[in-house]
A and B are shown apart, each in its own frame.
Chain A
Amino acid sequence: MASEEEEMLRAMGLESIEDLFADIPAEVRTEGLDIPKGMGEQDVVRHVTSVLRTNRSAETMPTFLGAGLYDHFVPASVRAITSRSEFYTSYTPYQAEVSQGLLQTLWEYQSIICELTGMDAANTSMYDGSTALGEAALMAHRINGKREIVIPRALHWDRLAVLRSYIAGPGLVLREYGYNRRTGTADIASLRAAVGPDTAAVYVESPNLFGRFEENLAEIRQIAPTLLVVGATPLALAVTKPPGEFGADIVVGEGQPLGTALNFGGPLIGIFACREEHLRKMPGRVIGITRDAKGHRAFCMTLQTREQHIRRERAMSNICTNETLMAVASAAYAAVLGANGLRSVALDNIRRAKRLAERIDHVMGFEAPVFAGAHFNEFVVRSKTPYSKVARKLLKAGVHGGLPLAAHFPELGETALFATTEVHTDQEYDRLVAGLEAGR
């Protein structure tokens, strides 16, 4: 009996599969692939699992790393929702009629981001916090045609590198302002000196790289001559005033803390929101509300004329595939926790940072926090001995310490950024402190 493939070939009047590749010239033909032969599912799972098991996860090794990504507790319901295959095996919802579920979910995500940030409109995601910042710089330039982006010295080096790549096209220029050596927040005099007639936007983060809340947003708004872009952490916004209330024009941020796992750094999700007046200059996919033919409320992708498939080289951005499933996770996380839960987790993360800093400060040879004032999730620790030595001792004790800062902020001496979240137990704090005592 002929196989299905043979029957299909015969139906087309072809003899063999090779006939289907007759259009590929011999000079570029390859004969198969120089990689191993396939394996059964069981063998692949065994192999990949055994390779992965050589990673140390936060499950077995308490980790005090943060710097933009945090190991938060994510309720199982969030994963159950993102595991609905109707969501995760679907494509971009171009066909609105069969995609109402995802469209409504994404519209709700946009609404949650707007509520947190105090903005009118949000897109369904950028790749991560760093590309959201890059896109915000380009958008500011589109809005006012000016060429300088004023950024803090206290900025994560990856964000800075990505920003540089994104502004390479129009050749925008970065101007830097410093941080106050006592508080770790924006140095106002230095910010005043950095702005000028060609300032396209001032960028400020709260909480910033050092975990410090920016308490002078109202003053910074006054100083910023044009657009104000605020980098925010969505969880912190549950208990802090939305940047919109301070007159921010664009709010960006890393949305990972809202229901997405660490994933060794990806996938993440870039938050991007703006005021209504800037809407048509915004990059990325957005979902709007409308009616169907019968007059029922319905949702669909909208303002697509800003996007690559319509506007081509004049599009607001080249983004197509984004981080939609992480937006679903964010919406589900916010919905499962609710306002009460989000606020309680946010407050817990402020208090834990404070308590852990106090404990570390009590260990001889360490000073924490280096900067005065309230922190979210993380804070800078100064060490008398070289931090690399401390880090090694901690690893030996089965604890992963904070992120060394000296290479990027030599002016701070031997420092590291330590982060904590609600996942840490008292025993894990004890292990960290014991490790520091041994490592000093």
Chain B
Amino acid sequence: MSYRQAYYDEPLLFEKKGNAVEPADLSDVPQSLRRESLALPNLAEHEVVRHYTRLSQMNFGIDTGFYPLGSCTMKFNPKFTEELARLPEVARVHPDQDPSTVQGALRILYELQELLAKISGMDAVTLQPAAGAQGELLGLLLARAYHQDHGDGRRNEVILPDTAHGTNFASAGMLGFHVKELPSADGRVDLSALKRAVNEKTLALMLTNPNTLGIFEDRVVEIAQICHEAGALLYYDGANFNAILGKTSPGKMGFDITHFNTHKTFTTPHGGGGPGAGPVGVKKLLEPYLPVPAVTFDGTRYALGWDRPKSIGKVRAWLGNFALLVRAYAYILGQGSDGLTGITERAVLNANYLRSRLQDHLPVPFSGLRKHEFVASGAPLKAKGVRTVDIAKRLIDHGFHPPTVYFPHLVDEALMIEPTETETRETLDAFAEALIRITREDPAVLKSAPHNAAVGRVDEVRAAREPILSWRMLKDSAAR
């Protein structure tokens, strides 16, 4: 497919002329605080709409094309859930309203908790966390509270496989825990290394299954046993949940805590980087520590319950990213048991199919099946002076968003590809053919790619050398 992204030499908002400043009567503002001017332009409404419409046309979304970002689950975002989330009964409802006036909202939260508990094989769910990483933070706070409550407060080590997402490390670090990194063996957790790593100081093991190589950790029962025997808890990173719906569950695998990424598995839109939602599910033993308030139902009325004396408190204000949770709820009801299982089947089929199309052209380290994603290596092209970043940028010229690159670190020159279930064989074939063609192309064409995006290769080093993060800093830098 030939592709050419729109380009406008669009000025910054601040470079636009705009209308005159109108005088303001500041007599109602306390004297010591009065602000005489605000340096924002006064533009006609249609000028603003044009500005952002042009900018949007210089942006690639799922609605534009194939977006095979590994571990990000970029699948089609249904349009009907957008319409539901815009209803005034979502948009113009205050979270502090009397429960009698928000029964619908509470019912959706309650039922979504129940649905997520069943999907994950967990006993209780909180919808409070704003994103997956916040779910991790909460999960570790729960683990800490549990151990402290059981007189085991010295546990301060979190074990992470070397394939784990960066957020796992950062969540542990943020809470001051010591991270023990486990080397992989054949793309899976090395059980003997795990046995050496766990001890009386282990707080939890955080595991993604399938892992970020797309490989199912088939010895997960033994992993769970090793951790539990040492008194540690098991945390399931739900980023790759799309690979297992209806086939297995964190609960069945022996995990104690899991988070969900509604913006991945339940396809609430990524919004350019957010918002998402990161509900957390736990087994019974951790329920007393969940955040307040709990959403409860007595058979007649939905309510908020604050009676959780052992609760860790809160990780964000109010109840969670409700407008995203409504979308996830509607999506899950629409798919149902049959649909969700079918999603996993097709996602896994697509990933294995695409891998089979590519593996003779780009190596895919580690044998065996993949689940929803796989990691290829661009290393063979290094001899020609071509790096994975060049392959990624050249894919843009074919109208494809590049895969996740240089992650996981285990694979040299990694290209992490997650096609998702919403792509057809035709798209997968076109992507495979483009990638195969790229491996044979003149290195000079790749090194200078992209050629058809709004701009050419962007100099990220320069941006970091002299960071200019605002109009204010830009003006200062121009004045220097």
Contacts and interface: CB of A to CB of B under 8 A. Distances in A.
A323 B275 contact: yes
Contacts of B13: 108, 111-112, 331, 335
A97 B455 contact: yes
A238 B38 contact: yes
A29 B247 contact: yes
Interface stretch (B162-170, B197-205, B373-381, B436-444): B162-170
Interface in B327-359: 329-330, 332-341, 345-346, 348-350, 352-353, 356
A426 interface: no
Interface residues of B, number: 193
B183 interface: no
Contacts of A108: 12-14, 471
A165 to B, nearest CB: 5
Interface string A258-295: 00011111111000000010010000011111111110
A408 interface: no
B328 to A, nearest CB: 11
B448 to A, nearest CB: 7
A111 B11 CA distance: 14
Contacts of A162: 313-317
A427 interface: no
B274 A308 contact: no
Count chain A CB atoms within 10 A of each CB in B96, B118, B272, B474 and give the residue with the most: B272
Interface string A192-218: 000000000000001000000101111
Interface string B465-480: 0011111111010000
B39 to A, nearest CB: 5
A37 interface: yes
A28 interface: yes
Contacts of A323: 130, 271, 274-275
A36 B19 CA distance: 57
B433 interface: no
Contact of A334 (B30, B40, B54, B353): B40
B87 to A, nearest CB: 6
B77 interface: yes
Given A35-B118, A48-B326, A131-B316, A102 B272 contact: yes
Interface residues of A, number: 192
B191 interface: no
B193 interface: no
A410 interface: no
A35 B463 contact: no
B445 interface: no
A57 B88 contact: yes
A223 interface: no
Interface in B245-296: 245-249, 252-254, 261, 263, 269-278
A309 B456 CA distance: 25
B270 A91 contact: yes
A373 interface: yes
B122 interface: no
B186 interface: no
Interface stretch (A18-26, A144-152, A379-387): A18-26
Interface string A1-31: 0001101110110000100111111011111
A411 interface: no
B453 A98 contact: yes
B40 A302 contact: no
A111 B463 contact: no
A342 B40 contact: yes
Nearest to B474: A289
A377 to B, nearest CB: 13
B154 interface: no
Contacts of A239: 24, 26, 29, 34-35, 38
12 contacts: A36-B336, A37-B336, A40-B334, A52-B108, A57-B92, A63-B97, A168-B175, A262-B92, A303-B467, A325-B272, A342-B38, A344-B22
Given A293-B448, A391-B98, 15 more contacts: A21-B348, A24-B244, A29-B247, A52-B89, A81-B56, A87-B61, A127-B134, A169-B173, A266-B320, A266-B324, A267-B321, A267-B324, A292-B456, A322-B131, A338-B41
